[in-house]
Amino acid sequence: MECNYVLSLLVVLVLSWEAHAAVNCSETGAGRFADPDDTTCKNYTLCSYSSSTGTYSSYDYVCPSTSLFNPSTSACTVSSDFVCNVTSTTNTSCTADGFFVDPSSTNCSSYIECIEIDGTFLETSYTCPDDTNFNPNTTLCDSDYTCTSTFSCTAAGRFASTSDTTCQTYYFCVLIADGTYLQYNYTCPTSSVFSPTARLCTTSYTCTTS
């Protein structure tokens, strides 16, 4: 029995690797957490806190092929003991048809088109021509529009702060029962920056704002 346990542990270690975290450890704290974007229930993130630096390190892991990650026990378990009931969702900022500010853009250089098809939104990103910015008032790329840093929640999720050239601050938007949004401002741990693509704090993203 002990040999089987050691062998299982070695398999887990072989199948793991360090990567950008799918979980925001600064919000969850230390521990093991299911990847919210994984519909197979096999991926999870290990969040480790360093008391000397006051920051979190995050590592992505995959359970062995015969097991699933159980968020209740925070461990990989045989598939017969846990039922994966996660449904696939589309990661989109769209709430209506039309052209809107790209929440991942920090300089108004791009925008998104939202098209509703059978109750699901199709989101497509576009880049404005050089020397133009997306104007949310006209929904066009205008050469005389000045990009502003004012942010207002229009969708639930995490969005980069357009006024922060260090890429460490972001907004967290929460949709409440009355249809409005609560807006929170957060700052990533000192060793990480906010990735507008992954929409989380990570050490693997290179800040390109200026």
The residue among 71, 115, 76, 69 whose CA lies nearest residue 92 is 115
Spatial separation of the C-alpha atoms in residues 127 and 132, rounded to whole Å: 10
pLDDT at 76: 92
Number of C-beta neighbours around residue 32 at 10 A: 19
**Which class would CATH give 90-148?**
mainly beta
User: Above 70 in pLDDT, residue 130?
Assistant: yes
62-92 burial: b if 16+ Cβ within 10 Å, else e = bbeeebbbbeeeeebeeeeebeeeeeeeeee
What the block records as the tokens of 97 is 């048809």
Which contiguous run of DSSP H or E holds residue 5? helix 2-14
Its pTM stands at 0.36
Which range, of 56-65, 89-98, 103-112, averages the lowest pLDDT?
A: 89-98
pLDDT at 80: 77
Q: Is 16 helix (H, G, I), strand (E, B) or coil?
A: coil
pLDDT at 3: 47
Q: Percent helix, strand, coil in the chain (nearest 5)?
A: 10, 35, 55
With contact defined as beta carbons under 8 Å apart, do 84 and 68 qualify? yes
Query: In the predicted model, what is the mean pLDDT of residues 111-130?
Result: 84
158-196: pLDDT as tens digits: 888 877 778 888 888 888 888 888 888 788 888 888 888
Confidence band of 209 (pLDDT split at 50, 70, 90): low
Q: Where are the domains of the chain?
A: 2-81, 90-148, 149-205
Summary mean pLDDT of the chain: 78
The residue among 35, 195, 196 whose CA lies nearest residue 204 is 195
34-91: pLDDT as tens digits: 887 777 788 888 989 888 988 888 888 888 888 888 888 899 988 777 777 654 344 4
What the block records as the tokens of 191 is 């060793």
Which range, of 63-77, 117-131, 144-158, averages the lowest pLDDT?
A: 144-158
